[in-house]
Structure 1
Amino acid sequence: MSVEVRSPVTGLAASLADVPDPVFSQAMVGPGVAVKPAAGPADAVAPIAGTVATLHPHAFVVASAGGTAVLVHLGIDTVQLKGEGFTLHVAKGDTVEAGQPIVTWDPSAVEGHGYSSVCPVVALDLTPESLGDLREDGQVAAGDPLFTVEGG
């Protein structure tokens, strides 16, 4: 069984290697895809159906029933914003459907504070070989497939 991981935001898909943070660009936490979000306020949505395992204003993890956990990080170093400009729509422990709004944020405001708004979407604790159908270029809408995780 495989899990289809969908884009949490509308924007331009890119390789994780393009993320300006070695934790992500070197896949230290896991493989995945980055999305450079479109400008303006938007919802970041759940990339898979599951349980909200971790929730911060700038990042969240959704874990599937099969154990696949997907991290969505809204921008780089955005923890420094201490939640400013991020509105949460769920709580840790909530069950969510793929495409359900998790956080409303404004990538343009993040960039206005001097941070990158790029969004790593990472399958935690997996090897690159676990992923298939990677979408690393071109426009994606929130909810479009980014990659699949085998066995999740």
Structure 2
Amino acid sequence: MGFFAKSKDTDLTIHAPFEGTVIPMSEVPDPVFAGGMLGAGVAIRPSTDADEFTVHAPVTGRVSNIFHGGHAFALVTKLGTQVLVHVGLDTVELKGAGFTALVEEGAKVKAGDPIMTVHAKVIREAGKDLVTPIVGTDKSQVSGAEVTAGPATQGAAIATFSLV
């Protein structure tokens, strides 16, 4: 490498947004996520039966989007990689019931910062699965994900996204 050359970051570590069981994206019971249509990623199922829990940022970045209904949010890293966190399956149908944002769009966050409160009781009573996909949505930036399946504490490294 030359004197002024910069090394390219080729990996992005994804941290568990809450305590749970990590599963490969291919095991998510939703064909859009399992088939990788939104991009490479990892998923985590909460281990708590509590009525509510907090979702933390899986990466450091800027909150680029809090989806209408509050069921999902996107972060953009300093390298411009967008990471989507989609809490639960078909939770958009709840039209915001069960979710409270703790940050606003544009906020700068560090991995581990609280992003939203999930009122899990409301979501479970609606019959929705709380498995949470975490996806690198730009396929031209994220070429794959190496997943560490199994139990994970909040903040633990659970996957590495390979950056193009």
Q: What TM-score, normalized by structure 1, do the two folds share? A: 0.90
Q: CA shift at 1:111, angstroms? A: 1.9
Q: CA shift at 1:131, angstroms? A: 3.6
Trace 1:94-109 onto structure 2 (pairs within 5 A).
94-109=107-122
Q: Report the more deviating stretch, 102-111 or 74-83.
A: 102-111
Trace 1:17-96 onto structure 2 (pairs within 5 A).
17-38=26-47, 39-40=49-50, 41-56=52-67, 57-96=70-109
Q: Report the more deviating stretch, 72-81 or 104-113.
A: 104-113
2:134 corresponds in structure 1 to 121
SS at match of 1:149: strand
Identity of aligned residues (%): 36
Residues 85 and 66 (structure 1 numbering): CA distance in 2 closer, same or farther, change over 3 Å?
same
Q: CA shift at 1:108, angstroms? A: 4.0
In 2, distance between residues paired with 1:68 and 1:143?
19
Structure 1: which amino acid aligns with 2:56? V
In 2, distance between residues paired with 1:151 and 1:21?
25
**What do residues 123-147 of structure 1 show as CA deviations (whole Å, max 9, x unaligned)?**
11237x8345421x21111211121
Match of 1:142 among 125, 132, 154: 154
Q: Contact between 1:108 and 1:117, CA under 8 Å: does it hold in 2?
A: no
Q: What TM-score, normalized by structure 2, do the two folds share? A: 0.84
SS at match of 1:24: helix
Q: CA shift at 1:27, angstroms? A: 0.6
**What do residues 5-37 of structure 1 show as CA deviations (whole Å, max 9, x unaligned)?**
111121101111221211101010101111111
Structure 2: which amino acid aligns with 1:45? H
User: Which runs of 5 or more structure 2 residues have no equivalent in the other structure?
Assistant: 1-8
**What do residues 19-74 of structure 1 show as CA deviations (whole Å, max 9, x unaligned)?**
12111010101011111112221110111001111102100011101011111100
RMSD: 1.9
Match of 1:16 among 25, 32, 54: 25
Residues 151 and 22 (structure 1 numbering): CA distance in 2 closer, same or farther, change over 3 Å?
closer
